[in-house]
Amino acid sequence: MAKQMVDTKTLVEFKNLKTHFHTSAGVVKAVDDVSFSIREGETLCVVGESGCGKSVTAMSLMRLIETPPGEIAGGEILFEGTDLLKLSKREMSRLRGNEIAMIFQEPMSSLNPVLTIGEQISEPLLMHKNMNRKEAKQRAIELITLVGIPRAEEIFHAYPHELSGGMRQRIMIAIALSCDPKLLIADEPTTALDVTIQAQILDLMRDIKTKVNTSIMLITHDLGVVAEMADFVVVMYAGKVIEEAPVIDLFKDPQHPYTKGLLKAKPVLNQKQDRLYSIPGQVPNPVELGNNCHFHDRCEFCMEICKTKAPPLRTHGESKHKTACWLYEEEGKVQ
């Protein structure tokens, strides 16, 4: 596990973010009143089952939510104190790819098949860093080397289809890092890769972290990735943050029954398990969510209050560890 962070400056602050989608079936509250912060130099993992709102949170930050059907219905996303939601399209595109960069799941669909790797790494350098072609080429070759690809000069002239999946993802990381972003968002960056390549890409990201002081927002459903990469973890469920904590606290002392379930569902090496535990039930229909605990009907500790009232996300015990669960509230205990 990564070592615990000492208190540093906040880089990003999500404040009561609400991102909704208007569909024929009703309003999907994909992100429903979400607040958390990413500190400078920190790797923050957002974890949760499919459909819980991880990607929509990141896409809201990038201002890439398609409107309609999507809509940012409320809240703020402060980046170094500036609300990204209030920036003009022009101001936002100046930040995107420059101060904030993103790596997507599928590198092939993010790379342009008709441009060489060199042209694609150089583009943000020409656009955002005012470099000339020669300077951009030199920097591109440095970046190809930084992401662990040998024969950088040759790769500079290659096209995406000439590279393997793992190499293409390395190139996406090189493009994302080209302008020294303050924030790197990686949305399931290894999901489309096979297991050995996944491990190599994670090693690369960790290695890069020690060379450049970028904050990373890493989206994953894999707790193994969380354990290896995170300083801090935000657990989402059905559009809400239900627990957040420094990584060591989360693994040592998970509080929310959903987090406990996720941890139980993870296979443990060198430990015989007859059947892999899985959390009973399913994620609720996103158009039918009430103002209650969205996990209540899957929770073995469900109380009356859980069905009718949403629990607040609050500190219980260690100061950076927060949980949204009535089990930890006086109001819940008296029910």
Ligand X SMILES: Nc1ncnc2c1ncn2[C@@H]1O[C@H](COP(=O)(O)OP(=O)(O)OP(=O)(O)O)[C@@H](O)[C@H]1O
CB of 119 to ligand X, least distance (A): 30
- Which one of 32, 39, 55, 326 is in contact with ligand X (CB under 6 A)? 55
Distance CA 116, CA 158 (A): 5
- Which one of 69, 267, 281, 312 is in contact with ligand X (CB under 6 A)? 69
Strand partners, 244: 234, 322
Q: Is 190 in the site for ligand X (CB under 6 A)?
A: no
Q: Is 18 in the site for ligand X (CB under 6 A)?
A: no
Tokens (6 digits) for 198: 């996944």
Whether the CB-CB separation of 184 and 214 falls below 8 Å is answered with yes
- Which one of 38, 45, 56, 218 is in contact with ligand X (CB under 6 A)? 56
Distance CA 252, CA 242 (A): 17
Where on the phi/psi map is residue 151: left (φ > 0), alpha (ψ -120 to 50), or beta? left
Nearer to ligand X, 55 or 122 (CB): 55
CB of 226 to ligand X, least distance (A): 14
- Which one of 12, 44, 47, 54 is in contact with ligand X (CB under 6 A)? 54
Strand order in the sheet with 240-246: 100-103, 183-187, 215-220, 43-47, 232-237, 240-246, 322-323, 314-315
- Which one of 118, 124, 286, 311 is in contact with ligand X (CB under 6 A)? 286
CA distances 174 to 21, 201, 226, Å, are 33, 12, 22
Nearer to ligand X, 28 or 216 (CB): 28
Whether the CB-CB separation of 161 and 106 falls below 8 Å is answered with no
Restricted to residues 194-223, the positions that interact with ligand X (CB under 6 A) are 221
Nearer to ligand X, 69 or 317 (CB): 69
Q: Is 284 in the site for ligand X (CB under 6 A)?
A: no
Q: Is 52 in the site for ligand X (CB under 6 A)?
A: yes
Q: Which residues bind ligand X (CB under 6 A)?
A: 21, 23, 28, 30, 48, 50-56, 69-70, 221, 286
